[in-house]
A and B are shown apart, each in its own frame.
Chain A
Amino acid sequence: MTKQSPIPFYDSAEQKNLAWDEFIQTLRYKDLILHLVRRDVTSRYKRSVLGVAWTMLTPLGMMVILTVVFSQVFSTIEGYAAYILSGLLAWTFFSQSTVSGINSMVWGGDLFRRIYFPRSVYAISAVGTGIVNLLLSLIPYILVSLIIGNPLTINFFWVLIPIILLSMFTLGMSLIIASVGVRFPDVVEMFNVFLLAWMYLTPIIYPEDIVPSWIKILFKFNPMYHLVKLLREPIFYGQPLYPQLLGICTLISVFVLVLGWIVFSRMTDEITYRS
């Protein structure tokens, strides 16, 4: 145990590239991210009887309710239950991960003020928890598809790519909103309301074709529209990823993540000054 590591030296006057610095630090704390994810996944259901099964049951329950309520209205779609469920999986992942990441960065700052670790680990671990939940929810999704007879093809495995892109977009959004939220906490509340509106402006529970054409044009400016569509290609339609859509989604996700990272790493000092 006498492994000699170089003596760390910290100098507050030394201001390197903030975004890059935050990135290096985050890599060094990767084990912390894994433990935070584990904590979130296990502790959330620790006292409930069904435990982690709730991760799968919650979207399933929502799907059943929405299917019963809307199946008469949107009867045009084959396998409507699977359509709703696939959209819900993507949306639940996005909304839960952003909200929990933002809340722990803006409100859960007690630890920030006592001990140093890169602030972005909270956002990353929230997305990590979301990925675990999303992957678990794919199990009930497969069951539902089998039951209602919606075809599953080998293309299903492409689902990993939309999940990665969705994660990048989600992380970027969390960092952007958290950066603004540190200064204006009201933005966090506004975001929660905005999320609801955003969900109804994205074809999650209704088929894309039923909306008037002017709204269809608006869809093009909605990143979640493209990302949800990309997720549905392999798991709902059983198609391989469509290159043009994949390109759009990659561009959006990379742009939002890079922007969020740069903005956030400039704000990290501010989090501790305002308490």
Chain B
Amino acid sequence: MKLPIDLNSDMGGDTVIGIENASVRYFVPREHVPTLKEYAIRFLQRRIHNDEFWALKGVSLRINRGEIFGLIGSNGAGKSTLLKLVARVLRPVEGRVWVKGKVAPLLAMGAGFHMELSGRENVFLNGTMLGYSENHMRERFQSIVAFAELQDFIDAPMRTYSSGMVARLGFAVATHQKPDILIVDEALAVGDSAFQIKSMNRIREFQRSGTTTLYVSHGMGEIEKTCDRAAWLDHGHLRFVGDPTEAVDQYLNRKKADL
């Protein structure tokens, strides 16, 4: 169902991600139904219950071009679900999400890598998974390997890599091309501090040329330091949007109150 929205006024300007009253619901089976036969019997008796779990409820948010936007909240607050809406992995059950530009998701800890294959093969596998063509990846291959500082190991199977090396290669592949929107889901926490600085520099560099970064982290200091704005999510509801320090304060106060 299309919402009555004036395309010109809303999508022009500097907003690159628009989330309008979006809700996401997961189905969680309440009891384990072991067999299809059982399922059929219970279905006839109307005893099938799926618990609805609203991961996000009525969230509205606008994110502008060139922002580093932080998301905070406790586990299960809906941060990752929100990222999935933007990465078009999920479609909202209610409401609407629109995204202007190419999205590059930075996957946490080597998701999408195949550990039996060499680093080289994985660069191509991962790159094509992100929607780049084979030729494009071939052109950029050298610079990706150089950024990840893995020249000597690129033909070794990935199961021999350390977790830092995996994270470096993942970051290098995801950010080898300036995206319009970069999604960082706690993926920077691994890797040594030298590489963390290097990757943060790249994010800053992207920002200067207009890339928007969505940043999820449990490191409150990091959020305050790097983000221009931040949002606090709590049980699928948006509690606060604005100054990162304020967002962190409110979140931490709430957590203290809960204890």
Chain A positions within 8 Å of B, measured between CB atoms, are: 1, 7-14, 28-29, 31-32, 34-36, 38-39, 42-43, 46-47, 110-117, 184, 186-187, 190, 269, 272-275
Contact = CB atoms under 8 A, between A and B. Distances in A.
Most B Cβ at <10 Å: residue of A47, A117, A269: A117
Contacts of A275: 26
Given A114-B89, A115-B129, 10 more contacts: A9-B98, A11-B99, A35-B121, A35-B125, A38-B121, A42-B117, A46-B117, A46-B157, A47-B116, A111-B111
Contacts of B91: 12, 269
Interface stretch (B69-77, B100-108, B193-201, B236-244): B100-108
A87 B157 CA distance: 37
Contact of B134 (A34, A113, A117): A34
Nearest to A272: B90
B117 A13 contact: no
A116 B36 contact: no
B128 interface: yes
A7 B100 contact: yes
B96 interface: yes
B88 A12 contact: yes
A35 B124 contact: yes
B90 to A, nearest CB: 5
A10 B88 contact: yes
Nearest to A117: B129
Most B Cβ at <10 Å: residue of A31, A34, A36: A31
A273 B26 contact: yes
B87 A116 contact: yes
A12 B85 contact: yes
A43 B98 contact: no
B134 A12 contact: no
Nearest to A46: B116
Contacts of B103: 10
Contact of B101 (A7, A38, A112, A117): A7
Contacts of A110: 111
A29 B128 contact: yes
A89 B59 CA distance: 54
Interface of B: 1-3, 22, 25-27, 35-36, 39, 84-85, 87-92, 96-103, 105, 107-108, 111-112, 114, 116-117, 121, 124-125, 128-134, 139, 157, 180
B127 to A, nearest CB: 9
Nearest to A269: B91
Contacts of A46: 116-117, 157
Contacts of B112: 111, 114-115
B16 to A, nearest CB: 10
Contacts of A117: 129, 131
Contacts, number: 113
A11 B98 contact: yes
A7 B96 contact: no
A29 B129 CA distance: 8
Contacts of A38: 121
B26 A184 contact: no
A9 B102 CA distance: 8
Most B Cβ at <10 Å: residue of A11, A47, A275: A11
Contacts of B121: 35, 38-39, 42
A2 B112 CA distance: 28
A264 B88 CA distance: 18
Contacts of A114: 84, 87, 89, 105, 107-108, 111-112
Nearest to A43: B116
Nearest to A190: B36
Contact of A13 (B1, B27, B36, B102): B1
A9 B87 contact: no
A113 B89 contact: yes
B97 A39 contact: no
A110 B113 CA distance: 12
A9 B114 contact: no
A8 B102 contact: yes
Contacts of B116: 43, 46-47
Nearest to A115: B105
Nearest to A14: B2
A28 B98 CA distance: 21
A167 to B, nearest CB: 21
Contacts of A116: 87-89
A36 B102 CA distance: 23
B97 A12 contact: yes
A187 B157 CA distance: 36
29 contacts: A7-B102, A10-B98, A10-B99, A10-B103, A11-B97, A12-B98, A13-B1, A13-B3, A13-B96, A29-B131, A32-B125, A39-B114, A39-B117, A43-B116, A43-B117, A46-B157, A112-B89, A114-B84, A114-B105, A114-B107, A115-B87, A115-B105, A115-B107, A115-B112, A116-B88, A117-B131, A184-B36, A269-B91, A273-B26
